Amino acid sequence: MLKKTIILSNLLALSQISFAQTDSLNSKNMQEFVVKGIKANVNLPITQTTLDIKQIAQKYYGADIPSLINTTPSINGYSDNGMGIGYSFFRLRGMDQTRVNTTVNGIPVNDPENMGVYFNNFADLASSAESIQIQRGVGTSTNGVASFGGSVNILTKNLASKQSATINFGLGSFGSSRATLEYQSGIIKNKLAFYGRISNLQTNGYRNNSGAKITSYLFSAGYFWKKSVLKLNIFGGYAENKLAYNGIDANTLNSNRTFNPLVNGESDAFKQTFYQLQYSNQINSRSNFTSSVYFVRGEAPNFQYYGSFANEYLNLPIHNNDSGYQAMTSYRLNQYFVGAFVNYQYKTGKWDLMANMHANSFKGEHFLEVQSIESFNPAFKPGQNAFFNTGYKNEVSGNVKLNYSISSKTNAFGDIQVRNVSFNYTPQIMEYRTVYGLNNDNLLVENMNWTFVNYRIGIKHQFNKHINAYAMFGRSNREPARVDYFKDEHPYSNIKQSDIHHETVNDYELGASFNNQKLAINANLFYMDFENQIASTGSLNTYGVAINTNVGASVRKGIEIDGIWKLHKTIWLTHSSAFSQNTINSINLHYFDANTYADTVITKKNATATLSPSTIINQGIRLIPCNWFYAELNYRFVSMQYLDNSEDKNVSIANYNLMDLKFGINLKQWVKYGESSISVQVNNLTDQLYTPSGTVQSYTNYLDGQGKATTVPLFFPAATRNIFVGLTWKF
């Protein structure tokens, strides 16, 4: 049975057929209506990969979402501490997460101001995931920030018809552990059902002083009528991390690759809680309606950072002619995010119409508290504010999607969205910062407003029961993030909206798939043409956030392939790859000239984009010799990546190869109570010393006495061979 389940789940995933749970309520579809306006079904001409609940269970062992989806096409993930538990990130087609829209049950989880996603704030969400869909390219219209490079749409578990409890417990290398308890109440009196999960994940991290301790949870409750569902979802977590967002230079990488430059107790703690109330109603056989309201509360109880600061930056008067201090500061954050969306679907004959409206309002308070200083200053009081400012962002959007069946084999699709976004900024005036001329608090930040019209059109044709193909064109716009303007947590000059232009992408997608009993394969070509692209300079600000700027026109183009081949009833081959060319037409690189002491601009033509490997290959073999054992060996290759746009190989990450091994044992032959299994995950089986990501050291771009351009690269090393053993027991 285990063998059949594994084979079937992989075949279905690669042929992009949705796979329903056998124990779900009859109202399962009503529970999923809430994301119908976001997810792409298999009839749409959208480049997509969907992991269903069984695939997620097979792949997931505790490392976060970036590790879970890392073997899907064009995904390249990494983590600060090298372990995948804690601060973990990914790039899709070379674009970072600020350009990838992420939703959970339709709730946008990208930070509205800076557009990043921090999965560690609600780690172990994969334990409660019903499905994860990755759309590559502009995809379909969605809630929240622009799906510029793609989108990740996560649906949490449906409320099940039967009562059950599941325990997951695991231990691994570098002090890693996972403990998860889940409970499904089953349906009570044909009306009520509950689901709950509580989790704890920990790791010491591969790098020094880079551990993480995360507690997370998810609770769902539903009330069911014959044709409608009212459902409450609450999820979130509390994460404590020792910080490791600074990379290490090449010499340190070779001599002490676990070194962490943050050695003064730098740490943070973040809380984030999501509340959602959703209502779904099957009006009749042709139409359904859903509405959802949500509230997100985020806060940073502390973000400890130690460094050298001037008096005025710390908001202190000069004392004994002391111009500055070594100080421990705590960056703080309070966020309030409220929103709602409504979906309506009408389907009749050849027409399938869906309309969506979404609105939200966000308030984010950013402030820095001074915890301690090494020199005496009588004006200093622990916990005083060095700066305090507030950002406000509001969004209203609406879209209409239409899928028309031209014939029984051909569908045409159209999707148009109008999106309006505004941003306002209010600082508090600090006493001494103004006195000593650091006038960040007095700087003028223009109120900003953008209105975008985004659209997609496409067609999909089924040639026969084995072959289909599609073509799609989409145009999407994205506003700059707060950090794109400020470069930091507050501005260093007066800011106008026109200082950075919004960016636009024209996305062309062409794909085909073949599927029979032995072979399922998907392949697609993409061509993404960017206008006014906002791209990373390679540098990070004080808090580890990328510094970006407009670079003009650029192009990302390539081919993506994934597939599975049944060589024998016990042997399967899996494949996922991406081959791309990612270039910026023209970019100005700034260097400090050692001869003239002036800022010097070097223009680079057709530069390869930062952190955009041209080749990513995943090749796997799965062995299922009996119904109680399976093993899977995966090989991964990632080509060289430049850390800035200079195309200097001295400022790059070498290509790397690695292998991961996983095997599982079903214990039902020996353990009769419940359903239990053991899994063993061996990452980096051959113990490679590799680096999946990096950056460049800020303010190190210079021209030496001979005019040679030089930049200091920094690296984020990944863990050497590491093992994680897990036990799953369902009652």
* 93 pLDDT more than 90: yes
Answer for the pair 283, 239: CB distance below 8 angstroms, yes or no: no
Kindly report the CATH number assigned to the domain that includes residue 203: 2.40.170.20
Q: Span 223-252, mean pLDDT?
A: 94
| Residue 482 DSSP label | H
Q: What is the pLDDT of residue 305?
A: 87
Contacts of residue 377, Cβ cutoff 8 Å, sequence gap at least 6: 316, 317, 319, 322, 325
Distance, CA of 77 to CA of 453 (rounded, Å) = 31
Query: What does the pLDDT read at residue 538?
Result: 58
Q: Please, is 498 exposed, middle or buried when counting C-beta atoms within 10 Å of its C-beta (0-12, 13-18, 19+)?
A: exposed
Percent of the chain with pLDDT over 70: 93
**Cα–Cα distance list, 44 to 148, 212, 390, 472, 655 (Å):** 18, 40, 41, 9, 35
Least confident of 251-260, 333-342, 378-387, 530-539: 530-539
Res 150: pLDDT: 95
Say how far residue 548 (Cα) sits from the centre of its chain.
18
pLDDT at 27: 58
Can you read off the two tokens belonging to residue 278? 């959703």
At residue 634, does pLDDT exceed 90? yes
- Write down the number of H helices and E strands in the chain: 7, 38
Distance, CA of 215 to CA of 236 (rounded, Å): 9
Asked if pLDDT for residue 16 goes beyond 60, the answer is no
**Residue 40, C-beta contacts closer than 8 angstroms, at least 6 positions apart:** 46, 48, 133, 135, 139, 140
Identify the pLDDT of residue 437. Answer: 67
pLDDT band at 602 (very low <50, low <70, confident <90, very high): confident
Distance CA 613, CA 582 (A): 8
pLDDT for 29 equals 67
pLDDT class of 22 with cuts at 50, 70, 90: very low
Instruction: Tell me the pTM.
Output: 0.92
* pLDDT at residue number 707: 77
Calculate what percentage of the chain has a pLDDT beyond 90.
Answer: 73
Mean of pLDDT over the chain: 90
pLDDT of residue 269 exceeding 80: yes
**Residue 537: predicted pLDDT:** 62
Which of the four pLDDT bands, split at 50, 70 and 90, describes residue 238? very high
Q: What is the 3-state secondary structure (H, E, C) of 338-383?
A: EEEEEEEEEEECCEEEEEEEEEEEEEEEEEEEEEEECCCCCCCCCC
pLDDT (mean) for 477-492: 89
User: Does 356 score more than 90 pLDDT?
Assistant: yes
Distance CA 147, CA 151 (A): 5
Domain count, the chain: 1
- The pLDDT score that the predictor gives to residue 23 is 38
What is the rounded CA–CA span in Å between residue 293 and residue 231? Answer: 11
- What is the model's pLDDT at position 311? 80
Query: For residue 496, what are the domain limits?
Result: 2-730
Tell me the Cα Rg of the chain. 26
Stretch (H or E) spanning 31: helix 28-32
Q: Name, in order, each residue with C-beta under 8 angstroms of 310's C-beta and a sequence gap of 6 or more.
A: 323, 324, 436, 438
* Mean local confidence (pLDDT), 319-324: 78
pLDDT value of position 546 = 67
The confidence band for 323, taking pLDDT boundaries of 50, 70 and 90, is: confident
Least confident of 34-38, 402-406, 612-616: 34-38
Alpha carbons within 13 A on the beta-carbon side of 4: 1
pLDDT at 539: 62
Q: How far is CA 491 from the centre of its chain?
A: 26
Cα of first residue to Cα of last residue in the chain, in angstroms, is 18
